[in-house]
Amino acid sequence: MADTNYDVIIIGSGPGGYVTAIRASQLGLKTAIVEREHLGGICLNWGCIPTKALLRSAEIYHYMQHARDYGLSADNVSFDPAAVVKRSRGVSGQLNGGVGFLMKKNKVDVIWGEGKITKTGEVTVSKSSKKAMEPQHPAPKGVKGEGVYKAKHIIVATGARPRVIPGIEPDGKDIWTYFEAMVPPAMPKSLIVMGSGAIGIEFASFYKTMGADVTVIEMMPTIMPVEDPEISGLAKKQMEKQGLKFLTDAKVSKVVKGSGKVTATVETKDGKSQEISAEKLISAVGVVGNIENLGLEALGVKTDRGCVAIDGYGRTSVPGIYAIGDVAGPPMLAHKAEHEGVICVEKIAGKDVHAMDKSMIPGCTYCNPQVASVGLTEPRAKEAGYKVKVGRFPFMGNGKAIALGEPEGLIKTIFDEKTGQLLGAHMVGAEVTELIQGFVVAMNLETTEEDLMHTVFPHPTLSEMMKESVLDAYGRVLNI
Amino acid sequence: MPINITMPALSPTMEEGNLAKWLVKEGDTVSAGDVIAEIETDKATMEVEAVDEGTVGKIVVPAGTAGVKVNELIAVLLEEGEDASAIDAGGGATAAKPEAEADKAPAVPESSTAIEVAAKAATDPVPAPKAADGGRIFSSPLARRLAQQNGLDLKALSGTGPHGRIVKRDIEAALAAGTGKAAPAAAAPAVAAAAPATATGPSADQVLKLFEEGSYELVPHDGMRKTIAKRLQESKQTIPHFYVSVDCELDALLALRAQLNGAAATDKDGKPAYKLSVNDMTIKALALALRDVPDANVSWTDDNMVKHKHADVGVAVSIPGGLITPIIRRAEEKPLSVISNEMKDYGKRAKERKLKPEEYQGGTTAVSNMGMMGVKDFSAVVNPPHATILAVGAGEKRPVVKDDALAIATVMTVTLSTDHRCVDGALGAELLAAFKGYIENPMSMLV
């Protein structure tokens, strides 16, 4: 009889769950992870990672179409949708296998099936009730099977799934979620994207680059509503130049399917109504936590707006049960889940650890142009009562950006006038998703404008714009 | 190129000063060596000389400005042929220079706005603080700035960031708790009441790490222990202690004591009305000495010398778990018998921890007697608001020289600790001499 007693059992092997498992094991805790469908969760099977692969194909395609701008020639540029998808699945498969390897390396037992907390300290694993999304990566070898497992600490890391709007339920054929959008059998000629958050805007950008006629419908007044409006406004302008169409302050009230097209009735705030038809519609109106069928209700675990309610250390209202990642509430980001999980197990292991600080979690969107941010937007900083100093630096003033042929974009920094604390940084333009981390480190180390101004940034890089933006906030900008 | 004139450091420890007076005005021509301004520090008024020749282009810090930081831009000098517009001409370096560059050539102002920026405290570099032992205190830049803006002393705070780094939340916690206030820069570092527990010693973890687990037990501090620790640490850190010792011959005092005790009336149970101890007589002698040397019967405050009209003598009483100092008020006026009986009552109630705050708070001096434990001599820690404390050793027979011949006398060594801010060495010696006079001629205590 195999040992079924653990210190920690984690339900869900997404980026939150598997990182938590590795950290738990590093801390000397006997750890198992329960997974019903795919190691790595949505992130690396149907989310972050495969979309980045698709967007990379789109990016290179875009460059090839504009080869002449760089003095190169590339004629009859075309693509094979099946090959683009195949590459994306390959990237995902490689990382999926990698998680299996990491579990083995860290001596984390993988239990294959659907986990349910049958009572405090006990997880019953049974056959998955969910229809797996095809194509599936092969299940890992050497996993444990269905049965009853015991653990002192049970961490729920079951993630989230697409939100469904009643009357516009995804059918997988005409109305897609990110699952279907990830593996298109053919490129649609026209597309409606409902929702302009990170998921919606990335698919909109991908399909637009691949030649589709794309309309994005957003309920809020600005696209990418969590971003600084100045930044999202610039992103919108650039995407409109590429031919993307946006309807903001707009709501899809009805969708009619028929003869190879979907027709959406869109009502705008000004009271007008219009019908838009396209080959496909992607529903990207957010995600909801997977809190069902886990036994949480029976145990009396408190929830809050469809997510498990936790404290800063992942503890739920029931001792011994924890939650991390998307299922524990926004921001629903892989890197937030990872850190939440690490804090959670370090606390369990008795480490002196500080509670999760959600004010410095960066966000990245990989549309063209890219958008990245951390901290407070300008309106939010003002709402919070800060008197702010705002710095801006456009890509046009940066040598590297011009050399790259990417002169569009902006880096914006927001400081507290009183203390010089960096409150937020917001960027739009080429490669900004790789730049933002500089400011994230700065914020975490509590730097002020003074330290940033005294830091030498390498030349020629896009990162020089970060310093220039800081200088601009204090009236000392150099290159504009 | 315009030349920046910055606030000079007139002494190695000077951090800021008051710009008392300008001796030149904008447009004046100066040559090297001319006195251009007067600067006041906490110690002195000094003259600032021009190091270059030129015309005073702009006076940035007006006369009468207090608290001007060292190296802050105070004026701009124009070289020959330049006019005021040159100040606005672009340059390279920033106007405000960090301290490390104090001795280098003055920097070139960047623009007129740079001059204004330089004059604003908010953008001044906040130097990383040094711990009491000269080591670096790890703190985030934001924490340093918040500490500066809120008048907190980083040395008084402990950090919760990585490796004990002081971060924003530590400042916020200190502000919420009202701890860690820095002493006002202009005042002497004392300000006992306003400067609670300063430099922190090694952390609990650092201490415990040095001992094998299981080789000790941990006893949580009670309120008395915490108060003793806090007050004595504060005293040693803020009061410049100074010590004077003297030997007193006790034979006459012992003889008088025996005589007085023998003369005590007894009640119907045969209990004497009083039984004087050497300590009681020591209290009285110190009280009378303070009456005779009133300049030593003082307390220090930043603004004033508090001259007391009576000698209220605190007496350190050792009790289980600590000590407490009940006070014999107006001891100079009280007969020995009253002092003796008060002390008996205090001693009893102190051991029961039943003293009222008004019985042990305040006082103008203190006596700490370890003679009964055979201690020869020791130095005591001044207990503010007292300016003095007398440490009393054991009375023992010692060889003494009398009339150039060896003799035997009962001798007691006493050591007076003084707060040098208000009781200087000679004054302390004068007080001890008076004390010795009463001890060696004890009859004088009776009249």
Q: A445 — contact with chain B (CB < 8 Å)?
A: yes
Quick: pLDDT tens for B124-168: 556 666 665 667 888 999 999 999 888 888 888 888 888 889 999
Highest mean pLDDT out of A111-125, B24-38, B248-262? A111-125
Q: Which residue of A has its CA nearest to B140?
A: A446
How many beta-carbon pairs below 8 A join chains A and B?
37
Q: A475 — contact with chain B (CB < 8 Å)?
A: yes
Quick: pLDDT tens for A24-81: 999 999 999 999 999 999 999 999 999 999 999 999 999 999 999 999 999 999 999 9
Mean pLDDT computed over A422-441: 98
- What pLDDT is recorded for position B350? 87
Cβ within 8 Å, pair A447-B143:
no
Helix ranges (DSSP H) in B90-165:
112-119, 141-149
- What pLDDT is recorded for position B212? 85
Is residue A145 pLDDT above 90, yes or no? yes
Q: Would you call the peptide bond into A135 cis, given omega within 30 degrees of 0 as the criterion?
A: yes
Quick: pLDDT tens for B307-317: 999 999 999 99
| Percent of chain A residues topping a pLDDT of 90 | 95
Cβ within 8 Å, pair B125-A450:
yes
Between positions 99 and 128 of B, the ones with CB within 8 A of A are 110, 113, 117, 122-123, 125-126
* Phi, psi for residue B53 in degrees, rounded to 5: -100, 155
* Residue A391 · residue A412 · CB < 8 Å: yes
Cβ within 8 Å, pair B126-A450:
yes
- What pLDDT is recorded for position A389? 97
Q: Each residue of B389-428: b (16+ CB within 10 Å) or e?
A: bbbbbbbeeeeeeeeeeeeebbbbbbbbbbbbbbbeeebb
Cβ within 8 Å, pair A446-B167:
yes
Q: A290 — contact with chain B (CB < 8 Å)?
A: no
Determine which of A450, A454, A455, A476 to mutate to test the interface with B (most B C-beta atoms within 10 Å): A450
A193: closest CA of chain B, how far (Å): 43
**Among partner residues B117, B142, B160, which is closest to A419 by beta-carbon distance?**
B142
Cβ within 8 Å, pair B160-A421:
no
Cβ within 8 Å, pair A446-B141:
yes
A419: closest CA of chain B, how far (Å): 7
Residue B420 annotated in active site: yes
Cβ within 8 Å, pair B145-A475:
no
Instruction: List, in sequence order, every residue forming a beta bridge with B30; answer none if it has no partner.
Output: B54
B184: pLDDT confidence band, cut at 50, 70 and 90?
very low
Cβ within 8 Å, pair B140-A475:
no
Determine which of B123, B142, B144, B158 to mutate to test the interface with A (most A C-beta atoms within 10 Å): B142
Is residue B189 pLDDT above 50, yes or no? no
Q: Would you call the peptide bond into A331 cis, given omega within 30 degrees of 0 as the criterion?
A: yes
B84: pLDDT confidence band, cut at 50, 70 and 90?
low
B429: closest CA of chain A, how far (Å): 52
B173: closest CA of chain A, how far (Å): 14
The interaxial angle of helices A464-473 and A432-444, nearest 10 deg, is 50
B363: closest CA of chain A, how far (Å): 45
Rounded distance between C-alpha atoms, residue A135 and residue A149, angstroms: 30
**Among partner residues B117, B149, B167, which is closest to A419 by beta-carbon distance?**
B149
Q: A357 — contact with chain B (CB < 8 Å)?
A: no
B4: pLDDT confidence band, cut at 50, 70 and 90?
confident
Quick: pLDDT tens for B326-337: 999 999 999 999
Chain A positions touching B113 (Cβ under 8 A) are 475
Chain A positions touching B168 (Cβ under 8 A) are 421, 446
Cβ within 8 Å, pair B140-A418:
no
Q: Which residue of B has its CA nearest to A451?
A: B141
Cβ within 8 Å, pair B160-A354:
yes
Tokens of B79: 């070289």
Check residues B123 and A6 and name the one with the higher pLDDT.
A6
- What pLDDT is recorded for position B339? 94
ipTM over 0.90: no
- What pLDDT is recorded for position B56? 86
Q: Which residue of A has its CA nearest to B138?
A: A445
- What pLDDT is recorded for position A257? 93
Q: Kindly report the number of other CB atoms within 10 A of residue B21's CB atom.
A: 15
Mean pLDDT computed over B42-66: 78
Q: Which residue of B has its CA nearest to A421?
A: B142
Rounded distance between C-alpha atoms, residue B49 and residue B31, angstroms: 9
Chain A positions touching B146 (Cβ under 8 A) are 419
Cβ within 8 Å, pair A448-B145:
yes
Cβ within 8 Å, pair B122-A445:
no
Q: Kindly report the number of other CB atoms within 10 A of residue A135's CB atom.
A: 11
Strands A175-176 and A160-162: unpaired
Name the least confident of A103-117, B96-110, B263-277, B346-360.
B96-110
Q: B141 — contact with chain A (CB < 8 Å)?
A: yes
Chain B positions touching A476 (Cβ under 8 A) are 110
Cβ within 8 Å, pair A418-B126:
no
Chain B positions touching A421 (Cβ under 8 A) are 142, 168
Rounded distance between C-alpha atoms, residue B27 and residue B5, angstroms: 15
* Phi, psi for residue B113 in degrees, rounded to 5: -65, -30
Determine which of A360, A386, A443, A448 to mutate to test the interface with B (most B C-beta atoms within 10 Å): A448
Is residue B91 pLDDT above 50, yes or no? no
Chain A positions touching B98 (Cβ under 8 A) are none
Cβ within 8 Å, pair A450-B143:
no
Closest CA to B95 of B104, B108, B86: B108
Check residues B44 and A119 and name the one with the higher pLDDT.
A119
Closest CA to A326 of A313, A335, A315, A317: A335
Is residue B256 pLDDT above 50, yes or no? yes
pLDDT, mean over chain B: 81
Is residue B185 pLDDT above 50, yes or no? no
Between positions 379 and 438 of A, the ones with CB within 8 A of B are 418-421
Is residue B216 pLDDT above 90, yes or no? no
Q: A311 — contact with chain B (CB < 8 Å)?
A: no
Quick: pLDDT tens for A364-399: 999 999 999 999 999 999 999 999 999 999 999 999
Mean pLDDT computed over B17-46: 79
Rounded distance between C-alpha atoms, residue A169 and residue A177, angstroms: 9
Q: B146 — contact with chain A (CB < 8 Å)?
A: yes
B96: closest CA of chain A, how far (Å): 12
Quick: pLDDT tens for A256-292: 998 889 999 999 998 999 999 999 999 999 999 999 9
The conformation of residue B310, written as its DSSP 8-state character, comes to S
Name the least confident of A103-117, A236-250, A296-310, B134-148.
B134-148
Quick: pLDDT tens for A341-370: 999 999 999 998 999 999 999 999 999 999
**Among partner residues B122, B141, B146, which is closest to A447 by beta-carbon distance?**
B141
A204: pLDDT confidence band, cut at 50, 70 and 90?
very high
A29: closest CA of chain B, how far (Å): 23
Q: B203 — contact with chain A (CB < 8 Å)?
A: no
B315: closest CA of chain A, how far (Å): 45
Name the least confident of A325-334, B82-91, B297-306.
B82-91
Is residue A169 pLDDT above 80, yes or no? yes
